[in-house]
Structure 1
Amino acid sequence: MKLHEIREARAAKVQEARALLDTAAGKLNADQQKTFDVLKSEITALEGQEQRAAFVEECERRAMGQPADKHVAELQSRISVIDAINAQIEGRSLSGALAEFNQEQKRIGIASRGVLVPASLFEKRATTTTAAQIVPDDYAPNEYVGLLRNSMVVQRLGARVLPNLRGDLVIPKAATAHTAEWLAEGDKLTGSNATYDSIKLTPRHVGAKTELSRQLLQQSSPAVEALVRDDFVQIVSLAVDKAMLHGDGIKEPLGLIGRTGLAGDVQTGNLATLSWATFLELFEKLALVNANPNGIVTHAEVVTKLRSTLKTTGLPGYLMENGQVGGINVSATNQLAAKAGSPDKGRLIMGDFSQILIGQWGALDILANPFAQDSFDAGAVQIRVMATMDMQVRHEAGFVLVEDLGL
């Protein structure tokens, strides 16, 4: 059944169960109890079907670049991060869209000591809104000056997000394919068997503590909501983004840099002698495994080298022009560090970043603590932000890692 059909069927069963309870005034006889138990079992089964169907539809929408379910998107757009924090500080119940979202999360089995908010709120850097008519004259949150932070690149380059996971996720993967045979008249096919492998995403937890002033949380300005979201984007998303590149595979996901050294893993390239010819060898490595690169990730020092190295000696034109090398966009970020040494060596990763899968378990968990000693003394509120995710790569050979570029 389609998702809307499952929801309609569940609603009908719930209505039937309610009518049964109302008829019996809450006191069921043996036959009514038996009927109610059947309805309860059917509702539970339909809820499981709904959860699975919603997960598959959301994955399909994301894979095709389509927007989320309209009802879900509309509900999430009405959720306020500041309301989630203030409800905990003031000890009041959640209300509105925030309450509806948390009830839905608990219904599907996600527990939290804090308040859950959609991870989708933090997938893009929030922009600050000017709302002069409701901002106090003596306070201007819309003019807040934040830190200069690293640029996030991995998800922007096409990493696929798998939201709302429950248990560990195992995805089957073809290791070798069937082969075709040419036959002479009367020959028999010998046959060949494909072999299979799998990749597994396991929940890993990332979190941080931050502190917000009580005055900031009390400002009745949409700009403050954007400011707080922006801060949380940087706290959690930067940690996740860096793990995609440098993760150690222990507490963190195993990043691209750690996926070299075995057959089928991330390929390695050589740019110790930086030239157009050595760069073409990187493209060739990817072409030989049928990979189509959609991005190059590197850091500022390498960008400087690429912009200042002639493509052909004595002729105009540099390796990197208009933000591209060989038609592939170059993204520079301090999330990717140079390889330490004496001297340091430049790093870059080229490949098809849509091969990266990012699994998300549940929503972002925000817990406010107005009684932490240092924060309490300053009249501030300590905020703990936690997220659960993992990362895997569908085809590691679709990437080439370079770690020997002279700076």
Structure 2
Amino acid sequence: MPKLNDLKEQRAAKVSEMRAINEKALAANRDLDDGERTRFEGLETETRSLSDQIDRSERLAEFERYEERGEAVNENGDMRRELRNYNLGKATRESFSDRLTGLEAEVHAELAKGREVRGVMVPTEILLGGETRALTTTTPAGGPGGNMVRTDLAAMTDHRRPALKVEALGATVMRGLVGNLDLPRLTGSGSAYWIAEHTDTTRSDAKFGKKSMSPNTVSGEYEVSRRMLLQSNEALDGILRRDLGFILAQALDAAAIKGGGANQPTGIMADADVEELPAAAISSDATADMIAALELDDVTGTRAFLTHPAVMKLARKLKDGDGHVITVAETFQGERVESTTQVPVVTAGTPDTRALIYGEWASLYLGYWSGVDILLNPYHSDVASKGGALMHAFLDADVVVRHPEGFRWMEITG
């Protein structure tokens, strides 16, 4: 079978002859004659055949390199590739037939120089690198080789998480913010007057206000051990990244509902301009009062209720005078209602009381100064000497109720 280089030389010769035939015809300012055309087409067929052979040979050579995983050792005895590619099992099996191949053969040849060798030479880094391997699956008793039998992991299941509802309800989201942001608003209009002919009108002024947004930073940090990084067959890095991203989004969702704590944005329930209605038991009368409060303030946008599952539990138990269950739709006047454990406790007790929020959710603004910034840091002093890493996540965001009259909330008593 011709060697790869021979095939390439033959193809180059065919191409050269084809070029000469074509250039001869061009120099004479004519087309190819019958003999030249026949020869040119024959050379073209042969060249294509050689190209196919070269392609197959190159692919076979590539497969053989993968199979042998060969690696040259330079004259100083240093490998160009890390020993992580060394396969002790392969070296052991092949040593029984006195036929080492690939990287294992090259390492053996290098280590065997100038000495009498019986068996296969294995780098000390492989056997003495802090890892001891047993020979069977049952012995020795203190650490059987069965420990080396792989345990397959099924798909990782996430733990239960609270539902994030604020954005889903229609909050206005602004991304890619850079500096501080002011949101101007018209807080009051002037007045119109009926006047007699040729008389002065009455002057009145419009009133303006603004809401300001500036970045607040929420962050999270995980410490990941070296063994977790080495041993996990699951996408540990991806799992932690997704988890960190979620807990930051969860923190922002909770801040949008209430917030107001140290270094937190001010959410709906903590905003002094958002009116709190008197506490009441859950009923269609209570929800009617909330709806009417917004209608009296001329709030006409898309509105919805948000509350805690404990309040929904109470709503589903409501009955009329005849003992018939009152539907949730009737209790909430046919308006959309969502629930999440993100809604906080209003008054701790037995049971705790929770809030019911009703509003035009587009009046709630969420601003992002960045996406979730996730950094993997193996150099921190807490982990550098342990071989682990710290995973940090940061989110810069703010929440503001641009139109406070667009929301009402009340404490629902048990």
Q: Do 2:245 and 2:372's aligned partners in 1 also have CA atoms closer than 8 Å? A: no
Aligned match of 1:296: 305
Q: How far apart in 2 are the matches of 1:377 and 1:331?
A: 48
Aligned match of 2:375: 367
- Distance 1:309-1:379 versus aligned 2 partners, 3 A rule: farther
- The two structures have a TM-score, normalised by structure 2, of 0.57
Q: What secondary structure sits across from 2:399 in the alignment?
A: strand
Q: Displacement of 1:376 after TM fit?
A: 5.4
Aligned match of 1:330: 337
Q: Displacement of 1:145 after TM fit?
A: 2.5
Aligned with 1:254 (options 249, 252, 266): 266
Aligned with 1:385 (options 393, 404, 414): 393
1:239-278 C-alpha deviation (Å, 9 max, x unpaired): 1111112212641001211113xxxx21222352433223
Superposed, which structure 2 residues align to 1:33-72 within 5 Å?
none
Aligned match of 1:267: 275
Q: How far apart in 2 are the matches of 1:351 and 1:218?
A: 50
Structure 1 unmatched runs, 5+: 1-136
1:168 aligns with 2:180: yes
Superposed, which structure 2 residues align to 1:230-241 within 5 Å?
230-241=242-253
Q: Which amino acid aligns with 1:295?
A: A
1:154 aligns with 2:166: yes
Q: Which amino acid aligns with 2:181?
A: L
* Greater RCO structure (CA 8 Å; 6+ sep): 1
Q: Which amino acid aligns with 1:326?
A: Q
1:352-396 C-alpha deviation (Å, 9 max, x unpaired): 111111111133322222244665576542101111111111111
Q: Which amino acid aligns with 2:287?
A: F
Q: Do 1:286 and 1:398's aligned partners in 2 also have CA atoms closer than 8 Å? A: yes
Q: How far apart in 2 are the matches of 1:253 and 1:352?
A: 19
Q: What secondary structure sits across from 2:345 in the alignment?
A: coil
Q: How far apart in 2 are the matches of 1:214 and 1:251?
A: 33
- Distance 1:213-1:190 versus aligned 2 partners, 3 A rule: same
Q: Do 2:220 and 2:244's aligned partners in 1 also have CA atoms closer than 8 Å? A: no
Q: What secondary structure sits across from 2:163 in the alignment?
A: coil
Superposed, which structure 2 residues align to 1:6-405 within 5 Å?
138-140=151-153, 143-212=155-224, 227-248=239-260, 250-260=262-272, 265-291=273-299, 292=301, 294-310=303-319, 312-314=320-322, 316-318=324-326, 320-321=328-329, 325-343=332-350, 344-372=352-380, 375=383, 379-403=387-411, 405=412
Q: Answer with 225-234 or 330-339: which moved more.
A: 225-234
Q: How far apart in 1 are the matches of 2:302 and 2:314?
A: 21
- The two structures have a TM-score, normalised by structure 1, of 0.58
Aligned match of 2:143: none
Q: Which amino acid aligns with 2:306?
A: V
Q: Do 1:293 and 1:350's aligned partners in 2 also have CA atoms closer than 8 Å? A: no
Q: How far apart in 1 are the matches of 2:184 and 2:381?
A: 50
Q: How far apart in 2 are the matches of 1:276 and 1:159?
A: 25
Q: Identity rate of aligned residues, in percent?
A: 27
Q: What secondary structure sits across from 1:256 in the alignment?
A: coil
Q: How far apart in 2 are the matches of 1:192 and 1:222?
A: 68
Q: Which amino acid aligns with 2:313?
A: T
1:106-137 C-alpha deviation (Å, 9 max, x unpaired): xxxxxxxxxxxxxxxxxxxxxxxxxxxxxxx8
Q: How far apart in 1 are the matches of 2:392 and 2:176?
A: 21
Aligned match of 2:49: none
Aligned match of 2:69: none
Aligned match of 1:134: none
Q: What secondary structure sits across from 1:357 in the alignment?
A: strand
1:8-58 C-alpha deviation (Å, 9 max, x unpaired): xxxxxxxxxxxxxxxxxxxxxxxxxxxxxxxxxxxxxxxxxxxxxxxxxxx
Q: Which amino acid aligns with 1:306?
A: A
- Distance 1:319-1:213 versus aligned 2 partners, 3 A rule: farther
Q: Do 1:362 and 1:388's aligned partners in 2 also have CA atoms closer than 8 Å? A: yes
Q: How far apart in 2 are the matches of 1:299 and 1:259?
A: 19
Q: How far apart in 1 are the matches of 2:261 and 2:345?
A: 20
Q: Which amino acid aligns with 2:317?
A: S
Aligned match of 1:100: none
- Distance 1:214-1:328 versus aligned 2 partners, 3 A rule: farther
- Distance 1:327-1:227 versus aligned 2 partners, 3 A rule: farther
Q: Do 1:299 and 1:338's aligned partners in 2 also have CA atoms closer than 8 Å? A: no
Q: Do 2:226 and 2:386's aligned partners in 1 also have CA atoms closer than 8 Å? A: no
Q: Displacement of 1:281 after TM fit?
A: 1.0
Q: How far apart in 2 are the matches of 1:389 and 1:284?
A: 33
Q: Do 2:329 and 2:335's aligned partners in 1 also have CA atoms closer than 8 Å? A: no
Structure possessing the higher radius of gyration over alpha carbons: 2
Q: What secondary structure sits across from 1:143 in the alignment?
A: coil
- Distance 1:230-1:368 versus aligned 2 partners, 3 A rule: closer
RMSD: 3.0
Q: How far apart in 2 are the matches of 1:211 and 1:318?
A: 50
Q: Do 1:276 and 1:319's aligned partners in 2 also have CA atoms closer than 8 Å? A: no
Q: How far apart in 1 are the matches of 2:375 and 2:239?
A: 18
Q: Do 1:249 and 1:255's aligned partners in 2 also have CA atoms closer than 8 Å? A: no
